Amino acid sequence: MKDISCFSFTITLLLLIITINALLPDETKFTECEGGPYPNTISNFQINPDPLVIGQSASYTFNGTRNVEILEGSRIDFLLIDENNEIIFKNMEYICSIVNEKCPLPIGNYEFTYGLNLNILEESSENVDMPPKTFLLYFTIKDPKEIILSCIQGPVELSYVYTASFNGNKKRYFHLL
């Protein structure tokens, strides 16, 4: 009887470990872009929520090491690319206008969280039971002379939201707020 109890405990513990591991955020899906290494590293990059869902605010957090100062006029570019290699979304923000520090941002370790409003709208009469769609994210930090200081890339899922039009045809909408 002890053997069965020990076996049940082991199986339960193994299933618990697998479940917890599946729920942990995936911070490794983003890799450095081709053309690197870049002077400022991004060690972790996380988008929340994942997948991104309409009606919920989205944010991204990243951290790493700055080996080069971030000067006034440096910017963050956030691009989403579809399966046809077309840009479906591009957002540019001057980093010094959105951080709580005065530029230049010094050399050293850092962590940064930023809210992002993505307004993408696409209509389709396709089946409403489609899963989220995966896009490629390119995230760069460039200095005022357009020199890339940091660049990462990786897959991002956008969830779909379905509504019915006035004439009864179902349409698919997706966008991030």
Lowest average pLDDT, out of 60-64, 66-70, 71-75, 97-101, goes to: 97-101
pTM, full prediction: 0.70
- How is residue 98 written in tokens? 């959105």
Look up the CATH number of the domain holding residue 146: 2.70.220.10
Say how many domains are in the chain.
1
Angstrom distances, CA of residue 126 to CA of 9, 83, 164: 47, 17, 12
How large is the average pLDDT for residues 78-94?
88
In a domain? residue 15: no
In a domain? residue 22: no
Beta bridge partners, 93, equal 76
In a domain? residue 5: no
Angstrom distances, CA of residue 167 to CA of 38, 129, 164: 52, 20, 8
The boundaries of the domain holding residue 49 are 27-173
Strands of the sheet containing 31-32, edge to edge, are 31-32, 148-158, 133-142, 75-81, 87-94
In a domain? residue 169: yes
Per-residue model confidence as pLDDT tens digits over 95-128: 998 887 899 999 999 999 988 776 654 544 444 4
In a domain? residue 46: yes
In a domain? residue 2: no
